[in-house]
């Protein structure tokens, strides 16, 4: 699958409706929603109040990425606020299963995420219990960072596990994704690419999204 999820973190919040309208007109599949609490990551983004305008102005499914401690306290509220999928970090919890169960009970898709310093093998026991795994290709916390190349091997490893066990778990990649690495990411097994600065910082965001989705390499700017 070749899905593109622009990260609204890099949108212009003074003209949010315009940016979301652009996303609606584009070939983007989802809107990626980065929630940061200032504790799990050294940055604070936004929370529940913005779920309403996201839902109102954006016609694409909201792919919520929680970079927070104690996700078990908040996942249900994000489901109620209109999330299409809710993901949280494996390293933020002792046991992800009860948290996944809270999301599933709301009928919302689940995603388990790891930062680049967490062993990718730790996701293996959960591959058949989640709709998606998200491999961070930068350390969570900020947009505009440089892609960590080692991510490619992690994708290959997880893709192999998923294929061998005939699972339908999607692989999402988040951080430093752009038109130069999108094609290779899809080739090695990624299904969903998150892109913030590469989309919203582009002269032609719609064309950038189109090229990424097609898996075309090269710079557009
Ligand atoms: C980082 C966030 C990412 C971020 C990606 O903590 O999870 O979703 O917005 O931004 P870019 O694409 O600029 O690296
Ligand atoms: Zn994210």
**Predicted confidence (pLDDT) per residue in 10-33, tens digit:** 999 999 999 999 999 999 999 999
CA–CA separation, 57 vs 36, rounded Å?
22
Mean pLDDT, to the nearest integer, of 202-213? 97
User: How much is the pLDDT for 215?
Assistant: 83
Q: What is the pLDDT of residues 166-195, one digit of tens each?
A: 999 999 999 999 999 999 999 999 999 999
* Residue pair 170/193 in contact by the 8 Å Cβ criterion: no
Helix (H, G, I), strand (E, B) or coil at 12: coil
Mean pLDDT, to the nearest integer, of 194-203? 98
Q: What is the pLDDT of residues 31-60, one digit of tens each?
A: 999 999 999 999 999 999 999 999 999 999
Q: What is the pLDDT of residues 133-179, one digit of tens each?
A: 999 999 999 999 999 999 999 999 999 999 999 999 999 999 999 99
Is residue 174 part of the annotated active site? The answer reads yes
- Map tokens 């007109």 to a residue: 25
User: How much is the pLDDT for 153?
Assistant: 98
Catalytic pick among 63, 131, 174, 191: 174
Query: Residue 187: how many CA atoms within 13 Å on its side-chain side?
Result: 9
- Map tokens 């090695």 to a residue: 188
Atom 10 of ligand 1, nearest CA residue: 143
Of 144, 196, 197, 201, the residue with max ligand 1 atoms within 8 A of its CB, to mutate for a pocket test, comes to 196
CA of 114 to the centre of ligand 1 (A): 14
pLDDT of 219 above 70 = no
CA of 50 to the centre of ligand 2 (A): 16
Catalytic pick among 34, 63, 131, 191: 34
The pTM of the whole model exceeds 0.75:
yes
User: How much is the pLDDT for 216?
Assistant: 74
CA of 137 to the centre of ligand 2 (A): 10
Q: Is the CB of 140 under 6 A from ligand 1?
A: yes
User: How much is the pLDDT for 12?
Assistant: 98
Q: How far is CA 1 from the centre of its chain?
A: 15
């Amino acid at each position: 699958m070749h899905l593109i999820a622009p990260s609204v973190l890099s949108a212009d919040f003074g003209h949010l409706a315009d940016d979301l309208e652009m996303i609606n007109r584009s070939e983007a599949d989802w809107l990626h929603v980065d929630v940061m609490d200032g504790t799990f990551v050294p940055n604070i983004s936004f929370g529940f109040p913005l779920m309403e305008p996201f839902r109102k102005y954006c016609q694409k499914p909201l792919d919520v990425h929680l970079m927070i401690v104690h996700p078990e306290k908040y996942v249900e509220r994000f489901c109620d606020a209109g999330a299409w999928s809710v993901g949280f970090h494996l390293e933020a919890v002792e046991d992800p299963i009860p948290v996944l169960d809270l999301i599933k009970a709301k009928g919302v898709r689940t995603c388990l995420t790891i930062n680049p310093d967490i062993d990718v093998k730790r996701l293996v026991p959960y591959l058949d219990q989640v709709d998606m795994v998200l491999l961070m290709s930068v350390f969570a916390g900020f947009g505009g960072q440089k892609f960590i190349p080692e991510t490619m091997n992690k994708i290959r490893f997880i893709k192999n596990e998923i294929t061998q066990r005939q699972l339908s778990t999607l692989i999402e990649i988040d951080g430093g994704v752009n038109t130069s690495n999108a094609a290779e990411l899809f080739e090695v097994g990624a299904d969903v690419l998150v892109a913030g600065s590469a989309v919203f910082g582009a002269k032609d965001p719609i064309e950038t999204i189109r090229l990424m989705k097609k898996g075309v390499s090269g710079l557009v700017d």
